[in-house]
Structure 1
Amino acid sequence: MSLDEKFNAAAENVKNLKSRPTDAELLELYALFKQASVGDNNTDSPGMFDLKGKAKWSAWNGKKGMSQEAAKEAYIAYAEELIAKYG
């Protein structure tokens, strides 16, 4: 199975967790997914009243410089960790 196939499978499997991960875990998962699929964050920061958007933007921006391949590997490992923890 290629890295892309493993990444896509992990992205699908993590949608079926039996219970909801913490907000911090979801932000980490989001940031790794965006870095793996898009690369470095090249969007403007959301406004100060968009707290959720700002948290997501900051999490993704924190992954700047990580290669897409490394982000895919990290996403797969983190998704497997969440699946083991939450079912």
Structure 2
Amino acid sequence: MKKGEEFEKYAAKAKTLPESTSNENKLILYGLYKRATVGPINTSRPGMLNMKDRAKWDAWKAVEGTSKDEAKSDYITKVKQLMEEAGIAI
């Protein structure tokens, strides 16, 4: 399976993670997903009153030096880890 196909497969699986998945883990996945699909951050940081979007922006910024392929691999690894922790078959 090509990296892109595997990435898409795990992007779909990520949507099946339980609601109890921590916000921290959701933000890690968000940042890796944006880095893998969009690339470098291309927007300015949201204002202080927009906490949710600001946290998402920060998660994306945190993986700034990662290549798209690295971000895809890291995303897949993180989804697998979260699925195992939740007792979901991979």
Q: TM-score range by the shorter chain?
A: over 0.9
Residue 18 (structure 1) shift: 3.8
Secondary structure, aligned partner of 2:49: coil
CA distance, structure 2, for counterparts of residue 38 and residue 12 of structure 1:
17
Residue 34 (structure 1) shift: 0.4
Q: Report the AA paired with residue 14 of structure 1.
A: A
TM-score (norm 2): 0.91
Percent identity of equivalent pairs: 37
CA distance, structure 2, for counterparts of residue 62 and residue 52 of structure 1:
15
TM-score (norm 1): 0.94
Q: Which shifted more, 42-51 or 15-24?
A: 15-24
Equivalent pairs, count? 87
Moved over 3 A (4+): none
| CA RMSD after TM alignment | 1.0
State the Cα deviation string for residues 56-86 of structure 1 (Å, max 9, x = none): 0011011112100000000000011111111
Q: Which runs of 5+ in 2 are unaligned?
A: none
CA distance, structure 2, for counterparts of residue 67 and residue 26 of structure 1:
20
Q: Which runs of 5+ in 1 are unaligned?
A: none
Structure showing the higher helix proportion among its residues: 1
Q: Which has the higher contact order (CA 8 A, sep 6+)?
A: 1
Residue 11 (structure 1) shift: 0.4
